[in-house]
């Protein structure tokens, strides 16, 4: 009979423990909300049908963003005539802002909202596009507006190259698509090994502007020694042999920002000369997903106080169960 009481107490203890542990503690899959901005004059959007593959590859997918940690991503579209504010950023984890239009601007309220968004741990992915004397895809972009966002976040170690509202373009006649020296191949050797962004990347194809980097630890990828960058007016921002950077990151431990000199390279537009969508060329799609995974915020740590509460409850119930079992055993023994 005494053994039966011990078994009963053990079952009660196990039931309480499994019922009391926070449900999220056993779940490896986190839900991550990604907001894709189309409200600032962008030409490459999901709504226009020229940025669908990248979004569809992300929306609803489950990715291992850290060893043993998985996230399921849900993409929201911020349409034209809306703004980045507390309401639209609520519950969002990552904001993607591609190449804003030439006449687009971010209001002070939007900049303040983005700053507050990062203060609570939100991540940003900012993308520009190159600007040439010739029209390639009709895009122009406005890197000055992207730099306003960086300024609002007090970031000065990474910057988009620009002069007034114009940016530059990276060229490489030796490693490019025929007749398009600004469609530049970048091999794995030009990627940093310091982040997971370079994982499983062998080669990508870029059509990119350059970045100004004051802290080399921020650099993720550059052109090779044959690459250079030039403004539409002919002024060089990076001479041949200086390896212009086009992909960079910034983090201060509280939030993350990724900067890329190209939005086009992740788009559905065809690469002129290859007639293949940019996102499907080389490892461009893998790079897109790697950047998103790197930007994924870690989940909030489990509140340890919950476990003290659980332990106290278990001990209380165990004590009551033991007392009752003892009373029953004593009454059986004396009867």
Task: Looking at the structure, tell me whether residues 170 and 254 fall in a common domain.
Answer: yes
Residues 6+ apart with CB under 8 A from 31: 71, 72, 74
Q: CA-CA-CA-CA torsion for 278, 282, 287, 289, nearest 10 degrees? A: 70
Instruction: Kindly give the confidence (pLDDT) of every residue in the chain, 335 residues in length, as a single tens digit, with 9 standing for 90 and above.
Output: 454 444 445 444 444 444 444 444 334 578 999 999 999 999 999 999 999 999 999 999 999 998 989 999 999 999 999 999 999 999 999 999 999 998 889 999 999 999 999 999 999 999 999 988 777 877 667 889 999 999 999 999 999 998 777 889 999 999 999 889 999 999 999 999 889 999 999 999 999 999 999 999 999 999 999 999 999 888 899 998 899 999 999 998 889 999 999 999 999 999 998 989 999 999 999 999 999 999 998 765 443 334 344 444 445 454 555 555 555 545 655 55
Task: Looking at the structure, tell me whether residues 231 and 280 fall in a common domain.
Answer: yes
Task: Looking at the structure, tell me whether residues 195 and 323 fall in a common domain.
Answer: no
Task: Looking at the structure, tell me whether residues 180 and 310 fall in a common domain.
Answer: no
Asked if residues 129 and 262 have their Cβ atoms less than 8 Å apart, the reply is yes
Q: Is 94 helix (H, G, I), strand (E, B) or coil?
A: strand
Q: Where are the beta strands (DSSP E) in the chain?
A: 29-37, 62-66, 69-78, 94-97, 123-127, 158-160, 162-163, 166-167, 169-171, 176-177, 180-187, 203-206, 211-213, 219-222, 228-230, 236-238, 245-251, 256-260
Backbone angles phi and psi of 13, in degrees to 5: -60, -50
Task: Looking at the structure, tell me whether residues 281 and 315 fall in a common domain.
Answer: no
Task: Looking at the structure, tell me whether residues 321 and 205 fall in a common domain.
Answer: no
CA proximity to 256, closest of 218, 199, 209, 300: 218
Q: What separation, in Å, do the N-terminal and C-terminal C-alpha atoms of the chain show?
A: 14
Task: Looking at the structure, tell me whether residues 291 and 326 fall in a common domain.
Answer: no
Cα 155 from Cα 228, distance rounded (Å): 25
- β-partners of residue 31 are 72
Task: Looking at the structure, tell me whether residues 286 and 329 fall in a common domain.
Answer: no
No. of H helices and E strands in the chain? Answer: 7, 18
Domain of residue 326, residue span: 2-22+304-334
Task: Looking at the structure, tell me whether residues 154 and 216 fall in a common domain.
Answer: yes
Asked if residues 267 and 43 have their Cβ atoms less than 8 Å apart, the reply is no
Angle made by CA atoms 52, 56, 57, in degrees to the nearest 5: 120
Task: Looking at the structure, tell me whether residues 254 and 171 fall in a common domain.
Answer: yes
Task: Looking at the structure, tell me whether residues 161 and 219 fall in a common domain.
Answer: yes
Cα 105 from Cα 38, distance rounded (Å): 13
Asked if residues 245 and 26 have their Cβ atoms less than 8 Å apart, the reply is no
- Number of structural domains the chain divides into: 2
Task: Looking at the structure, tell me whether residues 330 and 203 fall in a common domain.
Answer: no
Q: Which residue has the tokens 């921002």?
A: 237
**Would you state the structure tokens that stand for residue 144, as one six-digit string?**
């000055």
CATH code for position 217 = 3.40.50.880
Cα 113 from Cα 109, distance rounded (Å): 6
Does the model's pTM come out above 0.75? yes
Q: Which pLDDT does position 155 carry in this prediction?
A: 96
């Amino acid at each position: 009979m005494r053994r039966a009481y011990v078994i009963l107490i053990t079952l009660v203890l196990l039931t309480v423990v499994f019922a009391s542990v926070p449900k999220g503690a056993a779940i490896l899959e986190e839900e991550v909300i990604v907001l894709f901005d189309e409200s600032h004059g962008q030409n490459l959007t999901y709504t226009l049908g020229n940025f669908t593959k990248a979004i569809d590859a992300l929306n609803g997918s489950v990715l291992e963003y850290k060893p043993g940690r998985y996230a399921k991503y849900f993409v929201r579209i911020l349409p034209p005539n809306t703004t980045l504010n507390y309401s639209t950023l609520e519950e969002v984890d990552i904001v993607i802002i591609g190449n804003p239009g030439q006449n687009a601007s971010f209001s002070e309220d939007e900049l303040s909202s983005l700053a507050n968004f990062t203060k609570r741990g939100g991540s940003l992915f900012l993308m520009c596009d190159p600007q040439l004397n010739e029209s390639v895809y009709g895009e122009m972009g406005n890197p000055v507006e992207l730099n306003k966002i960086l300024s609002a976040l007090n970031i000065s170690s990474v910057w988009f190259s620009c002069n007034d509202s114009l940016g530059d373009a990276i060229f490489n006649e030796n490693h490019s698509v025929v007749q398009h020296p600004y469609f530049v191949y970048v091999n794995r050797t030009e990627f940093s090994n310091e982040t997971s962004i370079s994982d499983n990347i062998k080669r990508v194809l870029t059509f990119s502007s350059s970045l100004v980097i004051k802290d080399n630890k921020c650099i993720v990828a550059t052109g090779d020694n044959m690459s250079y960058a030039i403004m539409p007016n002919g002024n060089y921002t990076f001479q041949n042999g200086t390896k212009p950077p086009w992909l960079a990151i910034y983090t201060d431990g509280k939030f993350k920002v990724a900067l890329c000199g190209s939005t086009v390279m992740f788009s559905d537009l065809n690469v002129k000369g290859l007639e293949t969508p940019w996102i499907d060329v080389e490892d461009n799609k893998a790079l897109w997903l790697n950047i998103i995974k790197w930007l994924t915020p870690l989940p909030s740590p489990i509140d340890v106080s919950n476990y003290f509460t659980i332990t106290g409850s278990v001990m209380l119930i165990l004590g009551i169960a033991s007392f009752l079992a003892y009373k029953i055993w004593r009454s059986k023994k004396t009867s």
